[in-house]
């Protein structure tokens, strides 16, 4: 039951291109966040022990309505703490989930692994489950949406 979420995609791109989308402000801002949200990177310190500080902003009508009905702000600051940075192959980080009303903050870890493939770059994303099934489903839907946005960068 505590199995992490694992998602795999292959992109027609180079390792340099995919890595840049995960590790630069311009790259992150081009696709990060589910549909209906945009991201503004405040700071990025790409090294083990470093951090990414970004603002997640609801911009779509449905997302704004959901955030308001859930008692959540339309804009939140989030910090990712990098645990491992291996250029063009592996990126591990922890996100502090402190944005869920009525739930004590907790850490969620994510691992991004990049592999050269005949058709481009195979990416394996492993993400901790959230505190309950409902929020785990929301996280999975959010990642699916984000990964579709990432796919659009390469088409």
Please name the fold of domain 5-153: Alpha-D-Glucose-1,6-Bisphosphate; Chain A, domain 4 (3.30.530)
Domain definitions of the chain by residue range: 5-153
pLDDT digits (tens, 9 = 90+) for 69-106: 988 889 989 899 999 999 999 999 998 877 777 878 87
Q: How many CB atoms lie within 10 A of CB 114?
A: 21
Does residue 115 or residue 3 have the better pLDDT?
115
Digit-coded pLDDT (tens) for 8-61? 999 999 999 999 999 999 999 999 988 899 999 999 999 999 999 999 999 999
Return the SS3 of 12.
Answer: coil
Tens-digit pLDDT profile for residues 114-142: 999 998 999 999 998 877 777 778 888 88
């Amino acid at each position: 039951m505590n199995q992490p979420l694992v998602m795999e995609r292959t992109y027609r791109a180079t390792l340099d291109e995919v890595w840049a989308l995960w590790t630069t402000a311009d790259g992150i801002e081009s696709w990060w966040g589910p549909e209906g949200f945009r991201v503004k990177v405040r700071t990025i310190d790409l090294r083990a022990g470093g951090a990414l500080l970004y603002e997640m902003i609801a911009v779509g009508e449905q997302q704004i309505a959901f955030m308001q009905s859930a008692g959540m702000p339309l804009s939140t600051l989030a910090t990712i703490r990098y645990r491992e940075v291996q250029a063009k192959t592996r990126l591990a980080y922890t996100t502090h989930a402190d944005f869920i009303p009525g739930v004590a903050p907790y850490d969620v870890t994510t691992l991004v692994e990049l592999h050269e493939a005949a058709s481009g770059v195979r990416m394996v994303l492993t993400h901790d489950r959230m505190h309950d099934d409902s929020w785990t489903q929301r996280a999975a839907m959010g990642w699916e949406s984000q990964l579709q946005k990432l796919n659009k960068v390469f088409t």
